[in-house]
């Protein structure tokens, strides 16, 4: 064959290579999401249209729900505490972000660390700690009563909102702080030159540009509170929300068709979808972009007695109150205890009780989290790379589907899994597999987003050079891209592990006596009034979370040094 003919043949082969590795990843991604997301949700949706007792197809379940004052109250309660918590998180997180971004607060680095730390413990641990402090027999409650002061009750909607705001305000802070760091300070300086006061200059120049971050932070808080099971179940008492209502209905319908539980779950998903749609409407048709930063923002020194006193007090006050639950839990875990009553002497009796009675929970949490994280890391790396490198209709659809597990409340996913996988050929109910798979699909979006973000920063020429030298796609991905993606994968793994090991809302539906985890053990001990044991289990959970963060940071530091 002549050289020209061989060249033409080579070009023809390059034009048509047939299905490759990433086509397989795309199909596998659709298959996994169809099995673990669409199928369970579809089963729930189907069950919601079959009458509770007769099984007849129709809207009777929805008629029952909206015809019941009790059910309607749970719906409005969910909307109310979610909206109030989002507003509260904005009221705390946004001013704190402005203060930390524009002023030199004494110990500002420590403040930022404590802000992130307060996000690491799950809301149910914060709720339990505040019960110890402000419950009917709480430490602060007794001190106040001795002084003749009646403190507000931590139980009910006010307590749920209070705990949720302290737990979730970092979501608003982190997004708003990041947005402020990217705004050119010359814009506000120009407004000041034109005679506007500093506050007015900020509201008319900087704030419109950070609006997407602020709205997104509020949305994340709203969705987190809407799907939260732990704080409402511990603090709500007679205050029912949709997440706890779905759980109670599921327990009452075990052995039968989860009709009303499915209906409540569908409404929860609908509310989450409506919140996302509202976010898009708020941001649609508006330009929030600015020029690339010419003058980076700077922090100026505090001026005047008021700033020197009030701003540090505000910043340190917020982070200390938000992290108080962690200190309370660790401290009380070392006290002697009789049921819900703590003594004054220090003792290890609570830890001995933990390892004697619920020691399996510690092993299970570590095992399940490790298995789920391995699946998340592999699938997240592949899918993140795929979404960043291929812009097709299929990958855009896959990207949209991947956000569904993030939006679905854990209780809904758990009920959906029970409904979908409670019969052959996939009978998973009560097994380790169903919990690991639930953890995997719930937290997969974290890894995918982290992996995709780092791939976007890598020049395609790096891969093209490897392919031109004859390396197959899999080898190029393994040898070239994975090392470059390591920082993003590590960040995603850190967040995924913290979320997985603290998972309660999905586990509470799926666990059995053999598969109890540390969050479940903490919840069970609090419900049973064994506060000392609950404090010990929660302390171990905080310790494991902290150690995981330390290990990931250590490995991340090594990665950074190796890349220099």
Q: How far is CA 352 from CA 122, 144, 264, 494, 545, in A?
A: 24, 33, 40, 30, 21
Cβ proximity of 138 and 325 under 8 Å: no
Q: What is the pLDDT of residue 401?
A: 86
CA 557 – CA 550 distance, rounded (Å)? 10
Confidence of residue 373 (pLDDT cuts 50, 70, 90): very high
CA 369 – CA 371 distance, rounded (Å)? 6
Retrieve residue 257's tokens.
């068709």
CA 189 – CA 205 distance, rounded (Å)? 10
Q: Is residue 79 scored above 90 in pLDDT? A: yes
pLDDT above 90 covers what percent of the chain?
14
The DSSP element (H or E) to which 427 belongs, if any, is: strand 426-427
Q: What is the pLDDT of residue 31?
A: 93
CA 63 – CA 166 distance, rounded (Å)? 37
CA 234 – CA 438 distance, rounded (Å)? 23
- Per-residue pLDDT tens for 82-121? 999 999 999 999 999 888 888 888 888 888 888 887 877 7
Q: What is the pLDDT of residue 429?
A: 85
> What values do phi and psi take at 424, rounded to 5?
-60, 155
CA 290 – CA 243 distance, rounded (Å)? 40
Cβ proximity of 134 and 140 under 8 Å: yes
Cβ proximity of 162 and 242 under 8 Å: no
Q: Which residue has the tokens 């830890």?
A: 351
Q: Is residue 17 scored above 60 in pLDDT? A: no
What DSSP character marks residue 299?
A: P
Mean pLDDT of 466-483: 70
Nearest Cα residue to 160 out of 171, 150, 168, 149:
168
Confidence of residue 247 (pLDDT cuts 50, 70, 90): confident
CA-based R_g, the chain, Å? 26
- DSSP letter string over 261-281? HHHHHHHHHHHHHHHHHHHHH
- Per-residue pLDDT tens for 292-306? 445 556 777 777 787
| Higher per-residue pLDDT: 528 or 555 | 528
The CA angle 210-214-217, to the nearest 5 degrees, is 140
List, in sequence order, every beta strand (DSSP E) within 333-421: 335-338, 341-346
Retrieve residue 16's tokens.
């048509």
Q: How far is CA 471 from CA 364, 385, 466, 480, in A?
A: 41, 17, 6, 10
Nearest Cα residue to 163 out of 151, 153, 150:
153
Among 325-339, 428-442, 525-539, name the most confident range: 428-442
Mean pLDDT of 186-206: 59
The DSSP element (H or E) to which 422 belongs, if any, is: strand 422-423
Tell me which of 46-60, 417-431, 542-556 is least confident: 542-556
CA 439 to chain centre: 12
Side-chain-facing half-sphere of 454: CA atoms under 13 Å: 22
Q: What is the pLDDT of residue 467?
A: 65
The DSSP element (H or E) to which 423 belongs, if any, is: strand 422-423
CA 325 – CA 134 distance, rounded (Å)? 11
Query: Cβ contacts of residue 362 below 8 Å, gap of 6+?
Result: 354, 355, 518, 537, 540
* Domains, the chain, with CATH or none: 71-332 (1.10.3720.10)
């Amino acid at each position: 064959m002549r050289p020209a003919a061989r060249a033409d043949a080579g070009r023809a082969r390059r034009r048509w290579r047939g299905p490759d590795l990433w086509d397989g990843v795309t199909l596998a991604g659709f298959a996994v999401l169809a099995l673990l997301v669409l199928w369970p949700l579809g089963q729930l949706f189907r069950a919601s249209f079959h009458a509770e007792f007769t099984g007849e197809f129709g809207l009777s379940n929805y008629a029952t729900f909206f015809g019941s004052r009790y059910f309607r109250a749970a719906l409005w309660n969910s909307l109310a505490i979610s909206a109030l918590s989002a507003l509260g998180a904005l009221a705390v997180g946004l001013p704190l972000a402005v203060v930390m971004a524009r002023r030199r607060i004494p110990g500002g680095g420590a403040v930022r660390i404590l802000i992130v730390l307060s996000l690491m413990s799950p809301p149910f641990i914060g709720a339990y700690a505040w019960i110890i402090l402000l419950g009917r027999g709480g430490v602060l409650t007794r001190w106040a009563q001795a002084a003749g002061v009646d403190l507000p009750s931590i139980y009910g909607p006010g307590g749920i909102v209070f705990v949720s705001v302290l737990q979730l305000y970092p979501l608003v802070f982190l997004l708003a702080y990041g947005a402020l760091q990217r705004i050119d300070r010359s814009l506000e300086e120009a407004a000041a030159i034109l005679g506007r006061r500093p506050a007015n200059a900020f509201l008319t120049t900087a704030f419109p540009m950070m609006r997407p971050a602020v709205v997104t932070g509020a949305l994340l808080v709203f969705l987190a509170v809407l799907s939260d099971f732990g704080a409402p179940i511990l603090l709500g008492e007679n205050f029912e929300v949709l997440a706890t209502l779905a759980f109670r209905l599921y327990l009452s319908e075990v052995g039968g068709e989860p009709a009303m539980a499915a209906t409540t779950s569908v409404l929860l998903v609908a509310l989450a979808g409506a919140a996302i749609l509202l976010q898009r409407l708020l941001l649609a048709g508006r330009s929030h972009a600015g020029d690339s930063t010419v003058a980076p923002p700077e922090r100026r020194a505090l001026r005047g007695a008021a700033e020197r006193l009030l701003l540090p007090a505000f910043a340190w006050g917020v982070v200390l109150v938000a992290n108080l639950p962690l200190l309370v839990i660790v401290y009380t875990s070392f006290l002697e205890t009789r049921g819900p009553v703590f003594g004054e002497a220090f003792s290890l009796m609570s830890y001995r009780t933990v390892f004697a009675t619920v020691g399996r929970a510690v092993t299970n949490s570590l095992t399940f989290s490790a298995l789920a994280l391995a699946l998340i890391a592999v699938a997240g790396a592949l899918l993140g790379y795929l979404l960043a490198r291929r812009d097709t209709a299929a990958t855009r659809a896959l990207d949209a589907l991947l956000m569904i597990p993030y939006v679905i409340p854990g209780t809904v996913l758990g009920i959906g899994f029970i409904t979908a996988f409670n019969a052959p050929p996939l009978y998973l109910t009560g097994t380790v597999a169903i919990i690991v798979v639930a953890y995997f699909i719930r937290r997969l979006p974290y890894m995918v987003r982290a992996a995709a973000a780092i791939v976007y920063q890598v020049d395609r020429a790096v891969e093209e050079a490897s392919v031109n030298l004859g390396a197959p796609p899999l080898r190029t991905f393994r040898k070239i891209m994975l090392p470059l993606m390591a920082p993003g994968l590590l960040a995603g793994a850190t967040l995924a592990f913290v979320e997985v090991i603290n998972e309660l809302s999905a586990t509470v539906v799926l666990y059995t006596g053999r598969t109890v985890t540390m969050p479940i053990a903490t919840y069970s001990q609090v419900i049973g009034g064994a506060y000392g044991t609950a404090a010990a289990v929660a302390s171990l959970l905080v310790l494991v979370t902290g150690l995981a963060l330390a290990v990931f940071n250590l490995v991340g530091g090594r990665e950074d040094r190796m890349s220099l």
